Amino acid sequence: MACHIVMLGPPGAGKGTQAKQLAAARGIPHVSTGDMLREAVQSGTPLGKRVQAVLDSGRLVSDEIVADLVRERLARADAAAGVVLDGFPRTVAQAQTLDALVANGDALVVVDLAVSAADLIRRLSRRRVCQACGTIVALNDDDDDGRQACVECGGALVQRSDDREEVVRERLAVYERSTAPLVGYYRERPTYRPIDGAQAPGAVAGAVAGAIDEAAAVIGQER
């Protein structure tokens, strides 16, 4: 039986950072729909071209496109024990799709990272990504943007095109409208766990690990 971990939360809450670490620690795949969509854009396929315009607007890609990506990804052999889902589901329709995909008895643990809107805007404006290895870094107030290099590989740090302020505001509005209702969808489940995402990354990671252990214990009792 697989146990999938869903990382929920607004853009900039730290889902990507936490999901990556968690997946590495548990030895299961990190499945980020944002990364998959950006890869489609990079590959220049017809799908990628359509997706690029949506990403740059800050809106959501259609439920059908992401559902297809996730369905295919979860069917792969390395997903059999579970994956960390990052950025999916993002709408109630996607959550229903996910419930149908795991209807064979797989468990879902939903970790919801909460961060205030002011913090999110500040974090996203400082977020940079290594062009070579994908490592996410936060610039300090006094960092000179142009002279930063990735600590992991020395690669160039760039700002995601959708982290520009105008797009960030739209992404936060889309989150409130389309993704925040997911909390109501999941809240009554015993495996739903809200976490304070405003803490330092290490503290968040500890809280996430604890929450997953608690939720796993609940699942164990139900079986």
Q: Which residues pair with 130 in a beta bridge?
A: 157
Question: Does an H or E element contain 6, and which?
Answer: strand 3-8
The interface partner of residue 55, options being ligand ADP, Zn ion, none and the CB cut-off 5 to 8 Å by kind, is ligand ADP
Question: With binding defined as CB under 6 A, does residue 128 bind ligand ADP?
Answer: no
189 is catalytic: no
Site for Zn ion in 155-174 (CB under 5 A): 155
Three-class DSSP category at 65: helix
| Residue 86 C-beta: closest distance to ligand ADP, Å | 6
| Beta carbons within 8 Å of 174's beta carbon, 6+ residues apart | 58, 59, 60
Let me know: does 197 contact 14? Beta carbons within 8 Å: yes
Residue from the set 92, 132, 138, 216 that interacts with Zn ion by CB under 5 A: 132
119 is written with which tokens? Answer: 């913090």
Helix (H, G, I), strand (E, B) or coil at 149: strand
Q: How far is the CB of 153 from ligand ADP (least distance, A)?
A: 20
Beta carbon nearer to ligand ADP, 40 or 212: 40
Q: Which of 123, 127, 128, 193 is catalytic?
A: 127
Indicate whether 94 belongs to the interface with ligand ADP (CB under 6 A): yes
Contacted entry of Zn ion, ligand ADP, none for residue 132, CB cut-off 5 to 8 Å set by kind:
Zn ion
Return the amino acid letter for 111. V
> Which stretches of the chain bind ligand ADP, using CB under 6 A?
11-12, 15, 33-34, 37, 54-55, 58-61, 66, 87-88, 90, 94, 162, 171
